[in-house]
């Protein structure tokens, strides 16, 4: 079923959207990025616009129609009729239409060409998936900042600001997080106690934090990684790792069941958290010592999915070609 | 300084507002209630309207001017100029003007006529105060649902729905909370796994919970008290109690420092939580075994404050008169 046409593959994420034009042999020919493409937070039209902009960049000036478009999006979009997105992408005239895939699956395939294994993703949100036969067999968490996302960037940021508030009124121990959080908010310490019975510092912190959308507290997650030796920060990282390990184990992850892929900034930029998740999984499932593959996004996996779904075998050579040609384009 | 006029005393709370007309001897002559009067959540005008409506009811048809008005409100209102509220209440023509007091202080004085002691309040939010010389000497928590309120009704409700979500996707143990939470939301169990890799039950729960304002999750707090024998509910109550004990200890509470007043539905309706807070304080401060006075709101305390602020001594007899005459009016 190999054709002369190329495939458009897109990873529409909560922070940015990435598109690649990939040949049937796995050579990435064009790459483009645009803004947030999560239909849950941006709405379906906003997400579709982001997909369109990234795709145009990936195709450059090429007017040649693509064989098909594969778009990886957050779970809830799987229920959307692909016709809506096809309408948005009609200028690429995909002969074989458009396929919406799970963004979790795309992250998994960014780290593996096998059709079974596990993925754990901790960015703004947190979710784990077990993949079987190239499909999502089980998903845990990903329930959003209020109901779940335990150990996510939001969760870390919220724990950081809560720890600072507790330190400021004596409910919790002093912490090196305070300096970083106050500096990020541009606040000066003001230890005078006002009529409310609170210090000026804490009152300013309260006023500043409630000016954010809750999910924006993920912006404070890096402050936890800034001070890894601080006991309060260490405790937050340990609890995040325990929660993430629990999420991974809930989908049956961590056992000898194929590759394990880690994605999202909490795991890819927060090395202590990733290491602690592996440690925790080893403790809770004796004998298992998973070696995770770290991936930064799902665009390579979207390309893998595009090829696989059209009957093209993706082996170590094709997978390596996708990875290396994509890296060259992104440099 | 005793005058022939009576005092208007109001407790403007997050759920309802209560006003009482009290004589210089402590006899409550009229009582009225209205809706939410928290200026943080309702805005200052909405809160002032609630104060006005409750006050009209308390005064009945009386056109006699009051000596003064004392209005207990959430902490942030203390920074508001009383002139705004006076303008709203001008029909009562308070000869000695209007005084805005802390709602924490009003709750404390609902349980004690002494001028030093401690209060711990856990309703939708959670806060502790140390009172010295009739003023707030220290306050801990009360930092709102996102930044604090550990152990509050919001916190309990959020932990309940998170525990149900975790039970539904296998991250957490099964719990009797699931039945109560699903029933409250009118959801039926649907164990079939959809394309998103989640059960229908969990997807419905996610859809329902994100339809609420976050702080409305406090509505689920009673589900925790419904199943006190459930290990997950028990753990949530234990963690709430530990957090509330920490908040109380942060203001120096729990020691032999005068009366201890407990307010808010989590402590007054959640007997296991109140008992566990006392237990936790005893463990963490050996020798202390506080016996809290439970109060339902701050309206009696607002009356105490009205009298005290105008030089009228409130002793056990006057305090008892306020309590008994108020109870008769509220029957």
Prediction ipTM score: 0.88
Chain B hits for A79, CB-CB cut-off 8 Å, are 194-196
Nearest CB among A209, A214, A250 relative to B169 is that of A250
- Whole-number pLDDT of residue B290: 77
Q: Report the alpha-carbon distance of residue A12 to residue A42 in Å, rounded.
A: 11
Average pLDDT of the segment spanning A298-310:
95
DSSP annotation of B110 reads H
Residue of A nearest to B212 (CA): A146
Nearest CB among A129, A144, A195 relative to B210 is that of A144
**Contact: A196, B76; criterion CB under 8 Å:** yes
Average pLDDT of the segment spanning A26-46:
86
Are the C-beta atoms of residues A108 and A301 closer than 8 Å to each other?
A: yes
- Report chain B's mean pLDDT, rounded to a whole number: 89
- Whole-number pLDDT of residue B77: 59
- Whole-number pLDDT of residue A256: 52
**Contact: B197, A75; criterion CB under 8 Å:** yes
Number of domains observed in the structure of chain B: 1
- Whole-number pLDDT of residue A1: 37
Residue of A nearest to B104 (CA): A196
In order of A164, A204, A267, the CA distances from A159 in angstroms are 9, 18, 17
In order of A130, A136, A281, the CA distances from A258 in angstroms are 10, 14, 15
Chain A hits for B161, CB-CB cut-off 8 Å, are 146-147
A3 versus B254: the higher-pLDDT residue is B254
> In sequence order, what DSSP letters do the residues of B212-255 get, joined into one string?
S-GGGGGGGHHHHHH-TTSHHHHHHHHHHHHHHHHHHHHTTTTS
Give the CB-side neighbour count of residue B163, counting CA atoms within 13 A: 28
Chain B hits for A210, CB-CB cut-off 8 Å, are 144, 146-147
Highest mean pLDDT among A43-52, A105-114, A266-275: A105-114
Domain-located, residue A13: yes
Which of A76, A106, A169, A195 is best to mutate for the B interface (most B CBs within 10 A)?
A: A169
- Give how far the C-alpha of residue A37 lies from the chain's centroid of Cα atoms, to the nearest Å: 12
**Contact: B165, A150; criterion CB under 8 Å:** no
Q: Give me the total of CB pairs closer than 8 Å, taking one residue from chain A and one from chain B.
A: 127
Domain-located, residue B201: no
**Contact: A196, B102; criterion CB under 8 Å:** yes
Domain-located, residue A128: no
- Whole-number pLDDT of residue A63: 60
A164 versus B288: the higher-pLDDT residue is A164
**Contact: A138, B193; criterion CB under 8 Å:** yes
- Closest Cα to residue B143, out of A161, A146, A181, A219? A161
- Report chain A's mean pLDDT, rounded to a whole number: 89
**Contact: A246, B171; criterion CB under 8 Å:** yes
Nearest CB among B138, B147, B161 relative to A165 is that of B147
CB of A137 within 8 Å of a chain B CB? The answer is yes
Look at chain B and count its residues. Answer: 331
**Contact: A217, B146; criterion CB under 8 Å:** yes
Are the C-beta atoms of residues B123 and B152 closer than 8 Å to each other?
A: yes
CATH number (domain holding residue B32): 3.30.420.40
**Contact: B169, A141; criterion CB under 8 Å:** yes
Domain-located, residue B279: no
Chain B hits for A142, CB-CB cut-off 8 Å, are 198
Which of A129, A147, A213 is best to mutate for the B interface (most B CBs within 10 A)?
A: A147
Residues above pLDDT 70, as percent of chain A? 93
Domain-located, residue A166: no
Are the C-beta atoms of residues B192 and B149 closer than 8 Å to each other?
A: no
Are the C-beta atoms of residues B295 and B268 closer than 8 Å to each other?
A: yes
Note down the domain range covering B93. Answer: 7-114+297-330
Strands across the sheet containing B135-141: B135-141, B126-132, B117-122, B260-263, B293-295
For the record, the structure tokens of B113 come out as 């006529």
Domain-located, residue B73: yes
Chain B hits for A147, CB-CB cut-off 8 Å, are 161-162, 165, 205-206, 209-210
Chain B: nearest CA to A91, how far in angstroms?
A: 29
Which of B74, B147, B247 is best to mutate for the A interface (most A CBs within 10 A)?
A: B147
Residue of A nearest to B79 (CA): A195
Domain-located, residue A184: no
- Closest Cα to residue A142, out of B175, B170, B127? B170
Residue of B nearest to A149 (CA): B162
Residues 58-97 of A with CB under 8 A from B: 75-76, 78-79
Residues 156-215 of B with CB under 8 A from A: 158, 161-162, 165-166, 169-172, 193-198, 202, 205-206, 209-210, 214
Chain B: nearest CA to A64, how far in angstroms?
A: 33
**In terms of C-beta distances under 8 Å and separation of at least 24 residues, what long-range contacts does B322-329 make, across chains too?**
B322/B22, B322/B26, B322/B27, B322/B28, B325/B26, B325/B27, B325/B28, B325/B29, B326/B20, B326/B28, B326/B31, B326/B299, B326/B300, B328/B28, B329/B20, B329/B28, B329/B30, B329/B31
Chain A hits for B147, CB-CB cut-off 8 Å, are 161-162, 165, 205-206, 209-210
Chain A hits for B146, CB-CB cut-off 8 Å, are 158, 161, 209-210, 214, 217
- Closest Cα to residue A295, out of A34, A18, A6, A7? A18
Residue A3 has pLDDT above 50, yes or no: no
Domain-located, residue B302: yes
Residue A186 has pLDDT above 70, yes or no: yes
Low-confidence ranges of chain B (pLDDT < 70): 1-4, 40, 61-63, 75-82, 253-257, 288
**Contact: A75, B148; criterion CB under 8 Å:** no
Lowest mean pLDDT among A86-100, A139-153, B15-29, B127-141: A86-100
**Contact: B196, A170; criterion CB under 8 Å:** no
């Amino acid at each position: 079923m190999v054709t002369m046409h190329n495939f458009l593959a897109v990873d529409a994420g909560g922070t940015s959207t990435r598109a690649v034009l990939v040949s049937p042999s796995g050579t990435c020919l064009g790459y483009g990025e645009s803004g947030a493409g999560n239909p849950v937070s941006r709405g379906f039209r906003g997400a579709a616009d982001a997909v369109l902009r990234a795709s145009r960049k990936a195709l450059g000036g090429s007017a040649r129609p693509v064989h098909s478009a594969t778009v990886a999006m957050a779970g809830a979009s799987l229920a959307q009729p692909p016709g809506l997105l096809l309408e948005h992408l009609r200028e690429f005239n995909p002969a074989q239409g458009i396929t919406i895939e799970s963004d979790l699956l795309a992250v998994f395939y960014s780290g593996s060409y096998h059709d079974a294994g596990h993925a754990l993703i901790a960015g703004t949100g947190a979710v784990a998936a077990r993949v079987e036969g190239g499909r999502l067999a089980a998903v845990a968490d990903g329930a959003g900042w209020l109901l779940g996302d335990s150990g996510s960037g939001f969760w870390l940021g919220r724990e950081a600001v809560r720890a600072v508030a507790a330190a400021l009124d004596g409910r919790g121990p002093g912490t090196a997080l305070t300096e970083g959080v106050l500096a990020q908010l541009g606040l000066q310490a003001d230890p005078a106690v006002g009529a409310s019975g609170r210090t000026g510092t804490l009152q300013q912190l309260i006023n500043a934090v409630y000016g954010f959308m809750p999910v924006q507290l993920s912006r404070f997650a890096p402050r936890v990684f800034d001070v890894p030796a601080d006991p309060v920060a260490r405790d937050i990282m340990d609890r995040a790792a325990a929660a993430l390990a629990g999420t991974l184990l809930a989908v049956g992850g961590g056992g000898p069941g194929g590759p394990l892929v880690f994605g999202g900034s909490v795991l890819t930029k927060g090395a202590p958290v990733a290491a602690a998740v592996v440690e925790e999984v080893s403790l809770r499932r004796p004998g298992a010592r998973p070696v995770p593959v770290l991936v930064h996004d799902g665009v390579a996996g979207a390309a893998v999915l595009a090829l696989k779904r059209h009957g093209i075998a993706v082996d170590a050579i094709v997978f390596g070609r996708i990875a290396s040609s994509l890296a060259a384009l992104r440099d």
